[in-house]
Amino acid sequence: MTVASGNIIEKFDSIDNPIERAAKIKDEANKYFKDEKYDLAIELYTAAIDLDSLQPTYYGNRSIANLRKELFGSALQDANEAIKLDPAYVKAYFRRASANMALGKYRLALKDYESVKKFRPNDADAQKKFEECSKIVKRIAFEKAIACDFDEKKLIDSIKPDEFAVETSYDGPRLDGEISLEFMKDLIAHFKAEKKLPIRYAYKMILAAYNFFKDQDSLIHITVPDKQKFTICGDIHGQFYDLINLFELNGLPSESNPYLFNGDFVDRGSFSVETIFTLLGFKLLYPKNFFMSRGNHESDSLNKMYGFEGEVKAKYNAKMSEVFTELFNQLPLVHVINKKILCCHGGLSADENVTLEQLRKLHRTRQPPEDGPMCGLLWSDPQDENGISVSKRGAGIQWGPDITKKFLEANDLLYIVRSHEVKPEGYERHHDGQVYTIFSAPNYCDQIGNKGAFINITGDNLYPPKITSFEAVPHPRIRPMQYGSSLFNFLS
């Protein structure tokens, strides 16, 4: 419990009845939830539950706060407890369904939407969610039925960019040959002016990136020469204008100014299309000096929830959103710098003895599995306590300093750089400096108030890393999650 929540709880110490005291603390938690201070709200709901564990609404409220924090495992547990206490608590079914959707457990989500329909047969929103979820379940079943391992057809193979015409009125950058620095500068200016890249050029970039990534291993070794600066960035989450500000602060990517972006390029922010094409463009321009790791948000289920699929459909079409799913499946999972720094989006897995060679050979061209090394690389988080714990996210693990030490020693590494978590200053140092979290989306979702950050190292000075924090910059008046599916409205 933090000092802030402790001070709030102390205000009600004079109330002798624990049930009345719990109700007052819950009311305070609701205020902080409304102000989008979810960490504090969760602590207060927990305090209320400790005083009165028989109130289903306390668990239900904590469940939605956990959903907002993307702690899907904790959200599931709270929704289950709320339903156990009150089997007719409709909101808990909604929240459990949302958590299961985020984890790709569509059939379980469908059962909950079916339950809601029974409780509220005339509820149009419940009917809509049931129908949309049902479509997803049927689509997945159909895809499995027609799938053939020996003759797998990819949608991306059917894309012919030159079949798409460029509008005669188009006055932006043109991609009729190889990508150039001039094209990238013009593309950034074009995007900043809120203009769209024609679909012909968009598909050209996707296809070129796909063909590059598909020939790579799941683990990429990066060599940084002595004295050369190298930059590691964390989550961007569709915050295009903050990405461009980062480049203004640290310099545009180049052969002498290389970058690694550590996953979660898209979702949440409503400029994910502009963000991903900017990153792919620099990857194609500087394939040996610009690197991209897959994050947990480069996945089909989260793209459906958090807006990327909807944004691609709105700005282009549904087919392109499916092609992006195939592209994301090809992204590398982990990078190792100068054989000493391991960079991945999430972290370690329950397999304490996994080696770098095993990570290099990981089968990655799929949606994230529910466990194992690939799941850990995309989903896991560090914890202060030794050992391994169940993740609050519902995927991956939480791992302690002893696990970090063992892994680093076994693989002759100095430290781990990972992302995946919002931090007030944009970064956090864990496990006595053997793990760093770096997060590069300042004022996440226009509401958290955090700074972003990036790491600089040089080839001859790997430790300690130099970390720079930066503030958010203004962007056009388009709210985060503008393109998120109504199916995943956590306020329902």
Domain 167-488 belongs to what topology?
A: Purple Acid Phosphatase; chain A, domain 2 (3.60.21)
CATH class given for the domain over 3-145: mainly alpha
What is the pLDDT confidence band of residue 139, given thresholds at 50, 70 and 90?
A: confident
Residue 148 is predicted with a pLDDT of 56
Distance, in Å, from the CA atom of 276 to the CA atom of 236, rounded to the nearest integer, reads 10
| 471 pLDDT higher than 70 | yes
Secondary element (H or E) of residue 402: helix 401-411
Q: Of 350, 342, 333, nearest to 411 (Cα)?
A: 342
Q: How far is CA 124 from the centre of its chain?
A: 30
The residue among 125 and 423 whose pLDDT is bigger is: 423
What is the pLDDT confidence band of residue 151, given thresholds at 50, 70 and 90?
A: very low
| 330 pLDDT higher than 80 | yes
| 114 pLDDT higher than 60 | yes
Mean pLDDT calculated for residue range 220-234: 97
Mean pLDDT calculated for residue range 94-102: 90
53-62, 140-149, 181-190, 347-356, range with the lowest pLDDT: 140-149
| 146 pLDDT higher than 70 | no
Mean pLDDT calculated for residue range 127-153: 75
Residue 381: what residue type?
Answer: D
Q: Of 114, 116, 110, 66, nearest to 92 (Cα)?
A: 116
| 488 pLDDT higher than 60 | no
pLDDT 10s digits, 12-40:
989 999 999 999 999 999 999 998 889 99
The residues annotated with a catalytic role in the active site are 297
Say if residues 150 and 144 touch (Cβ distance below 8 Å).
Answer: no
| 150 pLDDT higher than 50 | no
Residue 35 is predicted with a pLDDT of 87
Residue 147 is predicted with a pLDDT of 61
Say if residues 119 and 96 touch (Cβ distance below 8 Å).
Answer: no
Give the 3-state secondary structure of residue 105: coil
Distance, in Å, from the CA atom of 280 to the CA atom of 298, rounded to the nearest integer, reads 14
Per-domain residue ranges of the chain: 3-145, 167-488
Parallel, antiparallel or unpaired: strands 290-292 and 259-261: parallel
Provide the percentage of residues in the chain whose pLDDT is more than 90.
Answer: 84
Provide the percentage of residues in the chain whose pLDDT is more than 70.
Answer: 97
Mean pLDDT calculated for residue range 261-279: 97
What is the pLDDT confidence band of residue 155, given thresholds at 50, 70 and 90?
A: very high
Q: Of 471, 468, 430, nearest to 448 (Cα)?
A: 471
pLDDT 10s digits, 433-452:
999 999 999 999 998 899 99
Non-local CB neighbours of 29 within 8 Å, separated by 6+ positions: 40, 41, 42, 44, 45, 48, 61, 65
Mean pLDDT calculated for residue range 423-435: 97
The residue among 125 and 274 whose pLDDT is bigger is: 274
Q: What is the DSSP letter of 167?
A: P
pLDDT 10s digits, 336-386:
999 999 999 999 999 989 999 999 999 999 999 989 999 999 999 999 999
What is the pLDDT confidence band of residue 491, given thresholds at 50, 70 and 90?
A: very low
Say if residues 113 and 137 touch (Cβ distance below 8 Å).
Answer: no
Say if residues 266 and 470 touch (Cβ distance below 8 Å).
Answer: no
Residue 141 is predicted with a pLDDT of 81
Phi and psi at 135, nearest 5°, equal -65, -40
pLDDT 10s digits, 181-213:
999 999 999 999 999 999 999 999 999 999 999
| 152 pLDDT higher than 70 | no
